[in-house]
Amino acid sequence: MTDHDVRVLDDSQYRTAHGLFRGALHHKPAPDDVWEFVRESYDPGRTFGAFADGEMIGTVQAFPSRLAVPGGAVVRNAAVSRVGVRADWTRRGVLSALQRAQLRALRADGDVVATLRATESAIYGRYGYGVATRYRFLKIDRRKAVPRTRPVGRVRLVEGEEGERIALALFDELSPGRAGTIARWPAWWGMNVRRGAVEENLKIAVRSGSSGASGISGTSDDVDGYAVFKVVPGDYEPGVHKPTTLVVMDLWARNAEAWADLWLFALGVDLVDQVTTFGRPLDEPVEWLLTDHRACQVVQETDETWLRLLDVPAALAARTYRDGEPVVIGVRDAYLPENSGSYRIAPDGVTRVDDAPELLLDVDVLASTYLGGVSFATLAATRRLDLVAPTALARADALFAVSEVPWCGTYF
Ligand SMILES: CC(C)(COP(=O)(O)OP(=O)(O)OC[C@H]1O[C@@H](n2cnc3c(N)ncnc32)[C@H](O)[C@@H]1OP(=O)(O)O)[C@@H](O)C(=O)NCCC(=O)NCCS
């Protein structure tokens, strides 16, 4: 018997839930003009509240999305967000009750995986979430950043709704694509781009190639890349050293030519001291565009996607595997015990079996390996799994290997 209970919220309760979440992060409730954008992101049946004495004391939500997995398949993904427990109710099991209810409901509803971004990394492993993608934040010193190459296409600024429409269409073509990328829900663009254009002066640059083939139509030319960015003005008063910073918030391109042209554009905007980025893929070769690699610094590399395999058989069956000898992996899942058991992974597919496992791991550890971002060998070396058959490690790594580093690229 607990002193609180968990329920699905209805639309009369979303604003309270949002205020509670913001309060847990030490922010004021959203004012009316912000709430106009936010309310669109509350879909029926996807937000939970915990209640005690008739008051809401905790909340969690999930946006409807899809995730690309190795091999190119796309699975249903619940993008979990807005987790918060009121400060006078923390460490009394409220989040655990919310997680239990949410994981069960998402699985029953047909979501194959859930993903989230963690404000603190010590919380979500116990609920079966593992770090599955990482990203890096760059800082480029423009005084040193001399490009090795020149643009080959045209980059132009597109204002307002037209810019957002072009960016959204190209994004939807490219993501989900690389393993780890996800579909954005319509309210994402309102919250992050439309609102950002008003509040932070966000700009959208779109790139067109010279060939014009297979671009996004409906525009005067064909577009094969875009960047959303803002410039945060510095301070040029004597003795004050706050640099003017161009921040690349979102950059997607269909091909390497478009990608390079967008970066050359970002590096070429006048009166900018440095260019920084929001989280970019680990394998993005920005430094190779520059004569001086050291002009580009990685200021942070950290966890991006926390992945939860809600339906382990469906998730394992959705991705492809490289050639190699089969391996039997044993999975333990305390919150969704129907996932617990042995799975035989082979190049031609996955079967649930009664065999004794050759590798035994918790479901959060399996999630970390699932997109190929970390090897079984690394997890064995750090004692995150039990190795029953020593040769199983190399077999598992051969099967799960990927050629491209997973990355999501959508913050929520
Ligand atoms: C983080 C937060 C949601 C946790 O809620 P809670 O109701 O206190 O969590 P619970 O009581 O259910 O704790 C569950 C477990 O997580 C641990 N835990 C909870 N918060 C933790 C934290 N911040 N750091 C480390 N461990 C934490 C608890 O100790 C407990 O451990 P146990 O299972 O070994 O007993 C809540 O503290 C909060 O709202 N914080 C501010 C907002 C925030 O960080 N939101 C997360 C956004 S991603």
100-106, long-range: CB < 8 A, 24+ apart: 100/6, 100/335, 101/6, 101/48, 102/48, 102/60, 102/62, 103/127, 103/128, 103/308, 103/310, 103/335, 103/336, 104/336, 105/8, 105/48, 106/62, 106/78, 106/310
The yes-or-no verdict on residue 221 having pLDDT over 70 is no
Pocket of ligand 1 (CB under 6 A): 24-25, 83-85, 90-96, 118-120, 122-123, 126
User: Are the C-beta atoms of 49 and 17 separated by less than 8 Å?
Assistant: yes
User: What pLDDT is recorded for position 2?
Assistant: 76
Distance (Å) from CA 93 to ligand 1 centroid: 8
Sign of CA dihedral 99, 103, 108, 111: positive
Read off the pLDDT of residues 198-207 as tens digits, 9 standing for 90 and up: 889 999 999 9
Q: For residue 377, how far is the Cα from the chain centroid?
A: 25
The model's confidence at residue 212, banded by pLDDT at 50, 70 and 90, is very low
Of the listed ranges 36-45, 75-84, 119-128, 235-244, the least confidently predicted one is 235-244
Distance (Å) from CA 92 to ligand 1 centroid: 9
Distance (Å) from CA 58 to ligand 1 centroid: 11
User: What pLDDT is recorded for position 239?
Assistant: 84
User: What pLDDT is recorded for position 219?
Assistant: 53
Distance (Å) from CA 281 to ligand 1 centroid: 29
Give phi and psi for 13, each to the nearest 5: -110, -5
User: What pLDDT is recorded for position 217?
Assistant: 56
More confident residue, 229 or 195: 229
The yes-or-no verdict on residue 215 having pLDDT over 60 is no
**Nearest-atom index, ligand 1, CA of 81:** 48
- Mean pLDDT of all residues in 229-234: 96
| Nearest protein CA to atom 46 of ligand 1, as residue | 83
| Nearest protein CA to atom 5 of ligand 1, as residue | 95
Give the up-direction half-sphere exposure of residue 65: CA atoms within 13 A in the CB hemisphere. Answer: 30
**Nearest-atom index, ligand 1, CA of 90:** 8
Read off the pLDDT of residues 255-286 as tens digits, 9 standing for 90 and up: 999 999 999 999 999 999 999 999 999 999 99
**Nearest-atom index, ligand 1, CA of 96:** 12
Distance (Å) from CA 1 to ligand 1 centroid: 20
Most informative mutation of 22, 25, 95, 98 for ligand 1 (most atoms within 8 A of CB)? 95
Please give the mean pLDDT across all residues of the chain: 95
**Nearest-atom index, ligand 1, CA of 126:** 33
User: What pLDDT is recorded for position 198?
Assistant: 85
User: What pLDDT is recorded for position 87?
Assistant: 97
Q: Give the chain's domains with CATH numbers.
A: 5-111 (3.40.630.30), 136-303 (3.40.630.30), 311-400 (3.30.1050.10)
Distance (Å) from CA 80 to ligand 1 centroid: 15
Read off the pLDDT of residues 137-171 as tens digits, 9 standing for 90 and up: 999 999 999 999 999 999 999 998 999 999 999 99
User: What pLDDT is recorded for position 216?
Assistant: 61
Q: Peptide bond preceding 176: is omega within 30 degrees of 0, i.e. cis?
A: yes
Most informative mutation of 4, 18, 27, 85 for ligand 1 (most atoms within 8 A of CB)? 85
**Nearest-atom index, ligand 1, CA of 84:** 39
- Mean pLDDT of all residues in 52-75: 97
| Nearest protein CA to atom 3 of ligand 1, as residue | 84
The yes-or-no verdict on residue 223 having pLDDT over 50 is yes
**Nearest-atom index, ligand 1, CA of 92:** 11
Distance (Å) from CA 313 to ligand 1 centroid: 29
Distance (Å) from CA 323 to ligand 1 centroid: 41
**Nearest-atom index, ligand 1, CA of 98:** 12
**Rounded CA separation 61/43 (Å):** 9
Distance (Å) from CA 90 to ligand 1 centroid: 7
User: What pLDDT is recorded for position 197?
Assistant: 87
Report angle CA 77, 315, 308 to the nearest 5 degrees.
55
Most informative mutation of 5, 91, 94, 102 for ligand 1 (most atoms within 8 A of CB)? 91
Give phi and psi for 106, each to the nearest 5: -65, -45
The yes-or-no verdict on residue 389 having pLDDT over 50 is yes
Most informative mutation of 22, 27, 60, 90 for ligand 1 (most atoms within 8 A of CB)? 90
**Nearest-atom index, ligand 1, CA of 117:** 48
Q: From the CB of residue 56, how many other CB atoms can be counted at a distance below 10 Å?
A: 18
